[in-house]
A and B are shown apart, each in its own frame.
Chain A
Amino acid sequence: MTTNSPSKVHVTTTINGQQHELLVPGYMSLLDTLRELIGLTGTKEGCLDGNCGACTVSVDGRIVDSCLVLGAEVNGKNVDTVEGMATPEGLHPLQQAFLEEAALQCGICTPGFLVAAKGLLDNEPSPTEGRIRHWLAGNLCRCTGYDKIVRAVQKVID
């Protein structure tokens, strides 16, 4: 068995519009890279196997489970997390709608749902309820029963 200590990877990446230069261990997930190296703890760790979507972020405009992406893979890419949604002027419309519709209780799944829902609306401004539910099937919520989340997304469409 080899015992060589794997070297770190030099990564230049744009996160929420801001460029970062990082040295990332080759085996470190994008989720841990965001939370531990950059301090962006909005992205949550859930199942660590691609079932729950709590760690959803956007990479070059496509939503992914950041637990199943390596930090080293985002070299040269644009990463968007929940921290990038609100502006100094206020919350993102989805965030506002989640508040108004009470689309969260414990809140652990919420950043993943917000980023996933934004990924849908950025490409499809008027999805049907069925399309919203299908798109969000990769995000689990154990509190709300989903109806409030779907209603919040629909509220932004209206």
Chain B
Amino acid sequence: MHPFAYVAPSTVAEAVAVLNEHGDRARPMAGGTDLLVKARANVWELDAVVDIKNIPELMNLSIGNGGLSIGAGVPCYQVYDNSEVAAEYPGIVDGASIIGGIQVQSRAGLGGNLCNAAPSGDGICPLIVHSAVAKISGPSGDREVAVEDFATGPSRTVLGKGELLVSIEVPKPAANSGAAYTRFIPRNEMDIAVAGVGVFVQLDSSGKNFESARIALASVGPTPILASAAGDSLAGKPVNDETIAAAAALAKDAATPITDMRGTVEQRKQLVEVLTGRMIKQAVERARG
């Protein structure tokens, strides 16, 4: 591992200054569960690691009428241990609860999961289906990017030189809505998704018809995928096996997986169809309360 300096600023401005000075030879660190593995494997050769956990905004987790704000450094366990978050955003908790094991969840968070930009990131699809937005600070100011646009390829993001993810802002879910995420892995815990599916549905007040839906897919493309056609197909339709199967088939069409050690193209596309159907049903159940 290339020896790097440890920097622990207490403000966003200081962190941005260090990141900007070093360019791609510096990285922000939240839980470090991806960063230190990559540094040790010499995937990244770093001169500086910027620990962002002393910056108050990046450690903030708050929930209110404006929605949910998740600081970029908030670890998974704080997300799923928060009873208000668990009640209002169970789909996000689904993802946060299955990233690594307990040790990893003590450190790793959704901000790091997003910035690591693995196609398989279990935390990302739930944020996409909730229409979450990434708040970014950088040398030329602040900007916001929709989470579905954040990853641009495997391990690649929209973050430019000196830019830092500050928080993820999740809108307050509409009435009669629900969300769910699951993945397929060959064991119960501690594995990387062969395929994953997140679903958000909003029902009408009768609970019998979809008003809108968003569906996102993990591990079946170079980035997490927002399967817009699949989600849009449910809008205005009744909740039944036929409409759900049609959306699941469209989700399968949106998947562009590769064959690798975890699974084949055929298996992954099949998984997307099956998991999409299951997650729509679970999201509907949650929407109906």
Contacts and interface: CB of A to CB of B under 8 A. Distances in A.
Chain B CB within 10 Å, residue with most, of A25, A53, A70 = A70
Nearest to A2: B47
A153 interface: no
Contacts of A144: none
A9 B48 CA distance: 13
Contact size class for A? 20 to 34
A104 interface: no
B33 A68 contact: yes
A45 B118 CA distance: 26
B6 A135 contact: no
A60 to B, nearest CB: 9
Interface in A93-151: 116, 119, 134-135, 137-139
Nearest to B25: A2
Contact of A6 (B5, B40, B101, B102): B5
Contacts of A70: 6, 29, 32, 36, 49, 51
Q: Is the interface of A mostly helix, strand, loop or mixed?
A: mixed
B158 interface: no
B3 A25 contact: yes
A111 to B, nearest CB: 13
B6 A116 contact: no
A116 B190 CA distance: 15
A79 to B, nearest CB: 13
Interface string B31-67: 1110011011000000111010100000000000000
A116 B103 contact: yes
Nearest to A7: B5
A64 B103 contact: yes
B188 A6 contact: no
Contacts of B175: none
Given A6-B47, A72-B8, 12 more contacts: A6-B4, A27-B2, A27-B3, A50-B33, A62-B106, A65-B103, A69-B32, A72-B6, A135-B102, A137-B101, A138-B100, A138-B189
Interface of A: 2, 4-7, 9, 25-27, 29, 48-51, 53, 56, 59, 62-65, 67-70, 72-73, 116, 119, 134-135, 137-139
